Structure 1
Amino acid sequence: MAEKLKIISLGGLNEIGKNLTVYEYGGDMIIVDVGMGFPDDDMYGIDVVIPDFSYLIKNKDRIRGIFLTHGHEDHIGSIPYLLRDVNVPIYATRMTAGLVKLKLEEHRLVNKTKLITCEAGETVKAGKFTVEFIHVNHSIADACGFAIKCAVGTVIHTGDFKIDPTPIQGGMIDLGRLGQLGKEGVLALLADSTNVERPGFTKSERSVGDSFDALFRGCEQRIIITTFASNVDRIQQIIDVAARYGRKVAVTGRSMENAMKVSTELGYMK
């Protein structure tokens, strides 16, 4: 009897946060994302919620790598806690790797961890699996989906995505490659897109710039803007419109400072 491919969700299924999926075939395992969750109102004294790693710790000798779709906390936030017990290579795109490196520095794990930077279009061999990075659009730079292949077939793991025809940078989601894989035959599609079941569509990120312009135009007072720290394209649009109207920009918040540090060093923000 042919060996089976097992797909095990240890978090992130029917919930926001704590994303962690295990792929298991022929004695080898790979992990996609190691996210954290945020506590509910009734979880007093709890700062972060992490997945149950006991299955991974028990099988740590079979794990061939951790693959990260993008750099949001609900997909990378638990990495330092897993690395206390499991030491395997981490594969991620540049922006994601930059944010992970900050976490590893904070937990003094940089020298113990093999962090490998990949680009969209690259394929990585990990035991009996091959993992292809596929460019997708999301509210953070360098987001990717994966085509995960083993002897029984191909699984598409999209990561968080939206279809943005006019993104600020990085180009549109690689629908051509996804279509090609579809024609070749796909065993399963694991799609992750918040609010996908609601009717309608999300506007392109580029349209946000016009809204900012309208808010800044003619305003003499201080303007305070709150936004997700990881949404580099949105922060860039705020900086651009501020420059256009001769404004100074002050940044506050640890996550915001970290995200801006990484994105300016890597050239995603000017």
Structure 2
Amino acid sequence: MATIADWLILAGVAGLLSGEPPPEANAEGYIRALIPEQRLVFIVKYAAAAWTYSGFIKFRQPPAIYLRCPTTGCDPHPLRILDDLRSRVPGAYGARGAEPDTAQIEIYVATDPVEFDKRDLEVDKALHIDAHIGSKFLLPPRPAPCRTTIYFDQKRSTIEKTMIFIDSDASPRMQSLCMGFELVRAIGAINVAGPLFYHEFEKHSGYDPLPYLAANVFLHTSTEIHAGDPVEKALAIFKDRYGLQ
């Protein structure tokens, strides 16, 4: 018999795979192409995903990105996801840089998380930040194919640094899913589907999550919504913007 968690996963996947606008729709076009009922559900789901006990958490400016690949190089599929997401929502993410200390998002693609964990610990000690969100394992406990740790200032609700690990031994499809979904989580939409969902998404090779992910990034980087704002404010703004009651 399927567990409640199994049913939630399947329901979430079904919702993402059905009734979506065409994949060529841009980030806002994706939202406006939804029928009103779907548009409202999408906005409510986004708000629930981005809400934390500190309100919405956001970077002060578009985060620069540092990417560290294995010596053999990163698989091209997740790299295309990174570039595609940046192009779909211009200005949401900053440029890629060569130095981790100057980047607000650090991405490590490797067969083993040892170096990532070492760097993550260094960041934790250096920032002396008062809040962070992250997880290493799935439930039931097993290593996740990727994970994200977000360090943020709880009082100001501002993100200082995000660390992403992607297992390079995972399939190209899984690495691509990790790159896309974890980059959205990295900027503060932390409850957009986590690694537990990716095993289901991996089975649907024809499903392109980028339009959905870009639309979440588009909402989260809206200038009308500020770090620490309550969810009621975001819902009111987006319902008005998209003609919803």
Please indicate, yes or no, whether the TM-score normalized by the shorter chain is above 0.5: no
Higher helix share: 2
- What TM-score results when the alignment is normalised by the length of structure 2? 0.25
- What TM-score results when the alignment is normalised by the length of structure 1? 0.23
Structure with the larger RCO, 1 or 2 (CA within 8 Å, 6+ apart): 2
Structure having the higher Rg: 1
